[in-house]
Amino acid sequence: MKKLLSYLLLVSATAVFAQNGDLQAEYQAIESKVIDWRHDIHQHPELSNREFQTAEKIAAHLKSLGIEVQTGVAHTGVVGILKGDGQGKVIALRADIDALPVRERNDLPFKSEVTAEFLGEEVGVMHACGHDTHTAILMGVAEILSKHTDKINGTVKFIFQPAEEGPPPGEEGGALLMVKEGVLKNPDVDAIFGLHINSQTPVGTIQYKSGGAMAAAQEFTIQVKGKQSHGSQPWSGVDPILISAKIIDGLQTIISREAELTNEAAVITVGKIKSGVRFNIIPESAEMIGTIRTLDYGMKDLINRRMQEMVTGIARAYNGEATLTIRDATDITYNNPELVEQMLPTLRRVAGEQNVQNSKAVTGAEDFSYYQREVPGFFFRLGGMTPGNTESFPHHTPDFKIDDDGMLLGVKAMTELTLDYLGSGQ
């Protein structure tokens, strides 16, 4: 059944791409290479800011294509610069290259057996989010485009980014550091494109959303100060656990009573609370940590402001004190509406109009957002689930799998977006 579905998809894709027949043979020829690269990277995963071997493979491949290569960007990032024969704009294509501290639990022949140290513990390492496919896809795009500089009016930057999952504690990394180090400059990027394969979206489909597509993720810490006393005499102290409970309850009213959820979704989650040492002691302090997810800048500002007011106000109402600290983890992954409208015809031509789906926003986060904060960007999801599959595993889990058949569409989409944006005339 899988082979039949793959064949039908291939026949459909071939028909869709008839107008660009001069590249069809190259697309088909590159597929096996892309799959082999993906298997190799999957079998040898590396954690954030430690992607040394992966970076070497990428750099060697780009150099073999005659592409100008920069290494050591944001620690282990690789940037390739390809100049077309004609003058024009600068486009950036991004792939993330890091893996996760997850021990793989499937039976793939290229299963990872790698272990590493993470936060002082030995952990398994696995490409449990599909970054191996993103890297292999962009390597394939680079190979095809390098052979067709006559079709490129402008410049292409290939950004292979480390630490999308977040740098280790105490280190900088990811898209934020790449931007800080000037990856969007010299030459200055006019637009950036990226994709994320999805294990629960069927092969052959592309999903997108204009505007806020993925959430801004913020991490918050609340320190509550009370007054310690004997558990039998609560009137002689100030209970920080009670205050914490009232704060948690209050924070949820920001979402349920103040956030305009018909506009965009929003989430406040307290993920950890720590206080006390003994059953008959009212402690002196409590600590809470959690996450905020927003898809609209106005809502983000409102929630941050109201959290600050509520945390301090509730603590004061119960004779205690509390401080709130909020740290940005990622910004809103915001797809520039004009760029989306401009490039949708390309995606529809590539995948077939019925296979390009306008989807809802998700409260997951992506540091691709930091590029989009600087230049217009378009980030979309690529199907990676075997069609008809009744069992698919979420990202960041030990059983996560991606169907190799999904990657060729990624190569075609990124290549055609590049050529169309730079006005190749195809």
Give the residue numbers annotated as catalytic, written as ranges. Answer: 98, 164
Q: Report the DSSP pairing between strands 333-335 and 285-294.
A: unpaired
State which amino acid sits at residue 190. D
3-state secondary structure at position 130: coil
Q: What is the DSSP letter of 126?
A: B
Give the tokens for residue 226: 């009370």
CA gap 143, 60 in Å, rounded: 12
Q: How far is CA 105 from CA 42, 68, 282, 393, in A?
A: 13, 39, 44, 11
CA gap 175, 367 in Å, rounded: 6
Distance of CA 172 to the CA centre of its chain: 17
Rg (CA), the chain: 24
CB atoms within 10 A of CB 52: 11
CB of 206 within 8 A of CB of 356?
Answer: yes
Q: Looking at the DSSP assignment, which residues form a beta bridge with residue 202?
A: 385
Query: Given CA atoms 229, 233, 238, 243 in this order, what sign does their dihedral have?
Result: positive
Q: Looking at the DSSP assignment, which residues form a beta bridge with residue 70?
A: 79
Q: Report the DSSP pairing between strands 86-96 and 191-202.
A: parallel
CA gap 281, 228 in Å, rounded: 7
> In this structure, what are the phi and psi dihedrals at residue 242, rounded to the nearest 5 degrees?
-60, -45
Residue 58 neighbours by CB under 8 Å, 6+ apart: 78, 97, 135, 139, 160
Give the tokens for residue 73: 């960007």
Q: What is the DSSP letter of 297?
A: H
Q: Of 177, 158, 190, nearest to 93 (Cα)?
A: 158
Q: Report the DSSP pairing between strands 377-385 and 206-208.
A: antiparallel
User: CA angle, corner 18, sides to 13 and 20, nearest 5?
Assistant: 105
